[in-house]
Amino acid sequence: MARQQGPSPQLKRSQEAASYAVPAIVAALALVALGRIAAPLLRGQVEQLLPALQRRHMPTASSSGQWSSAEVVQTAAEWKQKPGSAFTAPVSRCSIAADGEVQLRTPNTELPFLFNLSSEALPSKAQSCGHCDAPVGDACNITRLPHTCCGVCQFDSRFCSRLYKGEGRSEAAAQQLLAAGFPLHDFTPCELFQRIRGRTLWFVGDSQTWHFYYALECFLREFAPSLRRSDPVPAPHMPVLATARQMYCKKWWPVPPECLELAHGTRVCIVRADTAGEMVRAVLPTLMEHVPGFQHDLMVYNTGLHYQEFDGNCTSTGVCEVPGPGSKYLQELEELGAFRAANRGSLPATVWMDTPPQHFPGTGYYVGEFHADCVPWKAWQRGDALARGGGMWNVAARPYLDQLADAHLRTWNASVPLWDSHMPDECTHWCQPSAYHLWLLLLNDVMRQSGIGGRVLVEPAAPRPQLRRRPAQQLEGV
């Protein structure tokens, strides 16, 4: 019988290749399927795959620039319950790592978040005011001023976009400031929150400081578990802090202080006080006595404009004199400085803010006619020493600054060019956003430079983490 021969070497190699081909094809198909699932994740499109998740394991940057996985929450209420988590602000998109490091969002060409008061970015009026019992709007059957409850990011309806429809005054102001070198895109609420974290940031001053506070409160809104405002002291002591009055519905109302509670033992508060005398006689003693840990807080204060009725030294021809030693302004500043020296251990770290510029015709200052068309400061433009030095109130206060504060918030020269974004028919207050939002940037800078508040490490905005490992273009077609 003829012997049966085995397969030829060529056939054997073909059979071996076929035996490897099937698993290879299966593996390739699996890789394609995996790639199609993973690609959106690698492109930072987690939301498209997991829209219902409010917390995720997402990459965060450490100080070494390496990315690691950590739980990230996106609501202040949840972060309050999980203090060990990282937090990503839902609108501004800045992040705070579990170790406190701040991560900026990737740069873009949009309006800086600081100046973005679009309806898409802000809480609605229902969200800000839905809890209020008092009527709002034009109703006058009220028991207190409506704005004490309603509310966060409402700005007393002083939006530039509504007052000057279609004119883009806020956008023009932002572009003007960017062109002047102010890094508006790099400043996020995460950085300012970390700087004041665990403390109360107090604003004390006149109506300019009040509207500055509105900008602060709205800027930090993403860190508020609730938009319901609160009282800074127990109810029996609230009237003592209401030293100022405001006309509403043909009646003068006391202006009570208010606060917004933020996450992790942090809050921001405003107390209206038009003069240094009111601060010494009422505001500071009350806060010292009835606010636990007041000496560990932070405070920004100013007074000046309301001394016009006592020490107004400007004429309609444009001649102004700096208030002298006999003026009520300087006498009360001396009193305030002495009070601070005597109670240094019971008072917070303090920042004195410039008295802001006005833009009335003639001197620039208010000289009796409130309604006017605002004009640039001609004296400032031509380099006048008094105008460039801060105007009459700031020049007068300068010798007292060391007694009044630990740091000086210089807003004057940065604000003088913003003459075109005041409220209609008056040249003192600005519409929002404008000068007040610039002051937030300047405040953060002076706190950082003077060591007031917490030390904050800011990681610059960087490409998305996968770009450090594999260029995005290599993923095309995966």
CATH of the domain at 219: 3.40.50.1110
Q: Rounding to the nearest 10 degrees, give the CA dihedral for residues 358, 361, 367, 369.
A: -100
Q: Please indicate, yes or no, if residue 396 is contained in any of the structural domains.
A: yes
Rounded to whole angstroms, the Cα distance separating 58 from 224 reads 23
Reported as a pLDDT band with limits 50, 70 and 90, residue 316 is low
Q: What percent of the chain has pLDDT over 90?
A: 63
Q: Quote the number of domains for the chain.
A: 1
Model pLDDT, residue 45 = 35
Max mean pLDDT among 21-35, 51-65, 102-116, 204-218 falls in: 204-218
Containing domain of residue 166, as a range?
123-187+198-449
Segment 233-246 shows an average pLDDT of 93
Reported as a pLDDT band with limits 50, 70 and 90, residue 32 is very low
Q: Is the confidence at residue 259, as pLDDT, over 90?
A: yes
Query: Quick check: bond before 151 cis, omega within 30?
Result: yes
The alpha carbon of residue 445 and the mean position of all alpha carbons in its chain are separated, in whole angstroms, by 12
Count CA within 13 A, CB hemisphere, residue 471.
Answer: 2
Q: Please indicate, yes or no, if residue 169 is contained in any of the structural domains.
A: yes
Q: Is the confidence at residue 110, as pLDDT, over 90?
A: no
Q: Please indicate, yes or no, if residue 14 is contained in any of the structural domains.
A: no
Model pLDDT, residue 308 = 82
pLDDT (tens digit per residue) in 128-159:
988 887 554 456 776 777 667 888 999 988 99
Q: Does an H or E element contain 351, and which?
A: strand 349-353
Q: Please indicate, yes or no, if residue 468 is contained in any of the structural domains.
A: no
32-46, 203-217, 300-314, 414-428: which range is least confident on average? 32-46
Backbone dihedral angles phi then psi of residue 68, each to the nearest 5 degrees: -135, 165
Q: Please indicate, yes or no, if residue 17 is contained in any of the structural domains.
A: no
Reported as a pLDDT band with limits 50, 70 and 90, residue 70 is low
18-27, 171-180, 268-277, 387-396: which range is least confident on average? 18-27
Segment 240-257 shows an average pLDDT of 88
Which of 58, 24, 31, 183 lies closest to 113 in space, CA to CA? 183
Model pLDDT, residue 134 = 53
Whether the model pTM is above 0.85: no
Segment 237-254 shows an average pLDDT of 88
- Tell which wins on pLDDT, 146 or 62: 146
Helix, strand, coil abundance in the chain, percent, nearest 5: 40, 15, 45
198-212, 236-250, 407-421, 452-466: which range is least confident on average? 452-466
pLDDT (tens digit per residue) in 383-438:
999 999 999 999 999 999 999 999 999 999 999 999 999 999 899 999 999 999 99
Reported as a pLDDT band with limits 50, 70 and 90, residue 83 is confident
Give the type of residue at 337: G
Q: Is the confidence at residue 29, as pLDDT, over 80?
A: no
Q: Please indicate, yes or no, if residue 465 is contained in any of the structural domains.
A: no
pLDDT (tens digit per residue) in 412-423:
999 999 999 999
Please state, rounded to an integer, the average pLDDT across all residues of the chain: 82
Model pLDDT, residue 271 = 98
Model pLDDT, residue 467 = 32
Q: Please indicate, yes or no, if residue 293 is contained in any of the structural domains.
A: yes
Strands 55-61 and 67-73: antiparallel
Q: Please indicate, yes or no, if residue 284 is contained in any of the structural domains.
A: yes
Sheet architecture: strand order including 55-61: 55-61, 67-73, 86-88, 95-96, 102-103, 458-459
Model pLDDT, residue 165 = 95
Q: What is the DSSP letter of 427?
A: S
Max mean pLDDT among 103-117, 150-164, 441-455 falls in: 441-455
